[in-house]
Amino acid sequence: MKKALIFGITGQDGSYLAEFLLGKGYEVTGVTRRVSINTTERISHILPKLNIVEGDITDAFNVMRVIEETEPDEVYNLAAQSHVGTSFSQTHLTLDVTAGGVWNILEAIRHSPRCFDMRFYQASTSELFGKNYDETENGEKFQNEKTQFMPQSPYAVAKMAAHNMVRIYREGYGMHASSGILFNHESERRGEHFVTRKITKWVGEFVNFKRAVRKEYNLKIIETVFTEDKIMFKCGNTGEVLSKFGKLRLGNLDAYRDWGHAADYVRAMWMMLQQDSPDDYVIATGESHTIREFLDAAFNAVEIEDWSDYVMIDPEFYRPAEVDYLRGCPRKAKSVLQWEPEISFEELAYRMVKHDVKTQGLQRPDLQKVPANSFKTRQIHMSDVQEEGQESMAQCPPHNEMEFG
Ligand code: NAP
Ligand code: G4F
């Protein structure tokens, strides 16, 4: 039985990778940090099948001991301070974890008597490209393995240092060490502070809140009024304010991202380590969308066609430096690894919204308490909400095969 060791098993990718490797018959060990609250929510369904050891990649001795004791065939490093926005305010921490942690793993492998029996995967990122892209003859922008890096954040600088170290250990010490240059990938398990999940979680909460208002006041009819920063629910008959909900606050909506689903991307990580020779690969869909387009897809999934009244721009979420355009060319991964993404952009957004509509609780503590019987009349003025339990999900469009030009 093959043994895999995952640093970052509690994260989005760690959870999908662990599931995938268990499915392949691996014995999987995951490293988790000692924290004051439980962080194993994403892997709770597979916990009994995993070996969990405590550790932190910034602790070199700990990393060395974990690698020695578990004797893995494959080591996956997914651990990082992975939020780009946060990296501007926690620069040193980001460098220590996202760059320094990788050195610790590389050194632990290099000094191990099993050095050449282990294969290493490093989670590199499209953030490395930052401001830079190449162009096809038709003027289409893209990034591939040959595009020059031009990082735009402390996170990207840390990842670039790690990426280069992996290459140096591969070339200098002959280690089987590969980096996946993964473009953005999301899922129902995505951290709530990344833009896609922030959007779908808000949509899920909003839909449930609206249901709760109707249930609380026993009203099928409410009027929705928009103020600068709130969405007010008024009684359609009396005009009385029943409750209010904060608008979705976002920063730059014009950046382009190449978004795929995490379940597809962890497959590529494993495929890289099955190759005879280590290498770097771009993993992407080849399709790029703005945050506005993600908003379209997410709101359309709950049959709101125009989201502009529901969203407000908050300068707090702008970054000191931005990555404006990401669109990966996964040609090498397709031809060498035979890797293809299976989940489209539309399906990704649809799945995330569906999950968040289902899981966000119905009751909200900030719901105003007004006795239901205080409304005597039931005349209909507006009907912008559906019958209880009938908030439907729009049909997800079929996945169109993507071809990179
Ligand atoms: P994530 O959900 O933020 O997960 C990060 C993981 O790292 C968590 O398990 C976290 O543990 C762990 N971690 C953080 N600091 C650590 C430390 N000092 N020691 C040990 N573990 C630590 O990130 P993700 O989306 O799964 O991404 C996985 C990796 O791919 C990251 O390296 C990320 O930078 C990279 N990446 C992600 C994307 C993407 O779009 N998702 C794209 C390219 C590259 P806790 O649960 O205890 O916090
Ligand atoms: O969702 P994001 O925070 O992801 P970002 O910065 O692209 O980074 C993610 O993908 C990288 C791969 O390219 C990974 F390496 C990294 O670990 C992480 O997983 O932001 C996406 C875009 C940005 O342009 C940001 O400025 O959305 C914009 N945005 C607009 N409003 C926002 C918000 N981002 C966040 N997080 N929150 C907002 O309110």
At 91-114, the pLDDT tens digits run 999 999 999 999 999 999 999 999
Outline which parts of the chain fall under CATH 3.40.50.720. Answer: 3-190+258-288+325-341
Compare 366 and 136 and report the one with higher pLDDT.
136
Q: Which CATH superfamily does the domain covering 3-190+258-288+325-341 fall into?
A: NAD(P)-binding Rossmann-like Domain (3.40.50.720)
- pLDDT for the residue numbered 302: 97
Ligand 2 mean position, distance from CA 195 (Å): 6
Query: Rounded to an integer, what distance in angstroms lies between the CA atom of residue 78 and that of residue 104?
Result: 14
Q: Where, residue-wise, is CATH 3.90.25.10 in the chain? A: 192-257+289-324+342-405
pLDDT for the residue numbered 401: 33
- Ligand 2 atom with least separation from CA of 126: 13
CA–CA distance, 280 with 98 (Å, rounded to integer): 18
In this prediction, residue 361 carries a pLDDT of 65
Mean pLDDT of the chain: 90
pLDDT tens, position by position, 289-310: 999 999 999 999 999 999 999 9
Predicted confidence at residue 362, as pLDDT, reads 55
Amino acid at 378: R
Reply yes or no on whether 186 is catalytic: no
* Per-residue pLDDT, 394: 53
Atom 8 of ligand 2, nearest CA residue? 84
Q: In the predicted model, is pLDDT for residue 380 greater than 70?
A: no
Sequence-ordered list of residues with C-beta below 8 angstroms from that of 382, at least 6 positions apart, any chain: 221, 222, 223, 224, 236
**Other beta carbons less than 10 A from residue 144's beta carbon:** 19
Measured in residues, the chain has a length of: 405
pLDDT tens-digit map of 153-207: 999 999 999 999 999 999 999 999 999 999 999 999 999 999 999 999 999 999 9
Pocket lining: 185 vs ligand 1, CB cutoff 6 Å: yes
pLDDT at 366: 52
The one catalytic residue in 32, 94, 98, 125 is 125
Catalytic site includes residue 16: no
Q: Which CATH number is 192-257+289-324+342-405 given?
A: 3.90.25.10
Question: What average pLDDT score do residues 19-47 get?
Answer: 96
Annotation marks residue 40 as catalytic: no
- More reliable by pLDDT, 244 or 396: 244
Q: Whose CA is closest to atom 38 on ligand 1?
A: 184
Residue 11 CA to ligand 1 center (angstroms) comes to 5
Comparing 234-248, 296-310, 360-374, which segment has the lowest mean pLDDT?
A: 360-374
Q: What pLDDT is attached to residue 115?
A: 98
Phi-psi region of 399 (alpha: psi -120 to 50; beta: other; left: phi over 0): beta
308 Cα to the center of ligand 2, angstroms = 20
Q: Which entry of 26, 76, 133, 155 is annotated as an active-site residue?
A: 155
The answer to whether residues 112 and 155 touch, using CB atoms and an 8 Å cutoff, is no
